Chains A and B, each alone.
Chain A
């Protein structure tokens, strides 16, 4: 095992593998920065080029290296402009963009890069450690458990500190209703499609997220008529400050990384969900809850770590069963087959070094991209000091290209505009937007797993011990902040405490 571990390392660093890694990183860097071009689509485009590469490790240096860095550089766009660079980077907008507005873009970028690096490393190491216990880990959760987890996720985000509990849960409920749009998989009937073919497949998350988060910020930028940063330039806090922040909140970063790994292992969930849960966790951990959404660095560190660590978790079912945990993993699986490897129990025995090489690729590529990023971060941060009127046309182009690539349909733009307006209204009236987005993402998944659980087990699944435990956790998520608040108030009710 140790031998395979070191052999994997040296094979990644050997020429030409390392060259392929650099090439992959170079492509992934730009793909991540630009909204709309996602890691998945790029992987599909680049896959044929990897066919000419002879050894599996070299091919993986190229493909996995590329995929690994998109999560990191996607965060940068979210922080700088309030537009998600990747769909898995949207949660960084919540606190990252306000930091840019406060003139702390450099600090936010530093924190995002460093937490991404730690997240990726933890994800990769979990992958390495969990090799012997992969199968039970994947088999642990069935449909009933997955259903409760989706409900837990929405509850968790809906009850975030700062926003009103009712508004949060209602926003989550609206998200669930929006998820009902489209062909119902159980009966095949059409729901809320209003005779439009576009709505058959339901609302795509990308145009909704881009609209809800980017459009209100662009309106705001136009109304203010200043640069993104409202603080004068000399107050630009350095990138190193963000790096230090990562270590000040080290255990938060570790916990959020583990959240990411876990959601990567679970089928269907993955980085798009993990980022929000990690954000929720980070926001809850704030001592002063009112800082959430106003540029708290913790809100950058949490999702920054989680969306990178999911890559390691994602690889676990792919390697253990040969069952891809996500669409991008399905493509990587294809690449493995091309080079003559069949992922699954057999490969773990015969080519363990390939698995460990993947671990090393995840770590090394993130170290390299962090290094490159640190060289240019201060220049990127300077973009937030450019006059808004010069930036807005450029940002609008990015927003609409980003949405359009979801389905290559003109209706993607309509959805963006509708949800842009909705997002702006929600922002004005103090309604939280993350529960709505998470409700939309989880709604369809939750509905399906509810149906499956009922069809497979009748009502019996409600009494499964694992389900009962998860329900108890969900209730405590709602109850805990309320109880804590009451207790806090009760304390001050006694005059002697108030002194």
Chain B
């Protein structure tokens, strides 16, 4: 009988500080490489893994690394003061952690092919979108016009800045912050004000978004005016995925399980959920 709860050992190969409370962790297998799925990917962008430390526990994270890269996996962790995130922030390079997954569905990459894409996220919601962008750039000719709209409170809260500047050659990027800051050249205020900069064919477009519950409403306000239908808006949702295999009930939303049916849902699938 397979034990789905048993995690594998991984090594922290690199730690980077990305903002005051967010660090990036590169996870490597002690020996060998990560297994690939049928599509030649270690995970499907949008899927999540359960990373943990013995003695502290596990928590769900959406990997941010290029999905075809099987030598490492990168996750971004915000120190929320919780047991697991705090323990991760105290780790040093070379330390050991645990990993299981990937779990859930991820974004429908094949369906995205040949279409214009609007990717919208804010703050800590960037990791799954980042891995999706890496995939898009690697297969750039398969996709139409691609926009990333990424908002944060201050310029310091924008994560993965180096990678964002690399992406700029391949996709159109709109960065916004809440209040004007010195030397800031991007947008200020609600992301919705920048919708007019987006030129897509609404009948042949998809949107992918990621953010915590309250942010979904804000992102929806951007995507709806673009004329993209709800069935083509794919929302990567955040819930308390604890077991990862559809048992513990923490991550349910309406009739769905975020861990097994999601975490990526058609927007109309979750929009009218009572919770």
Partners in one complex: no
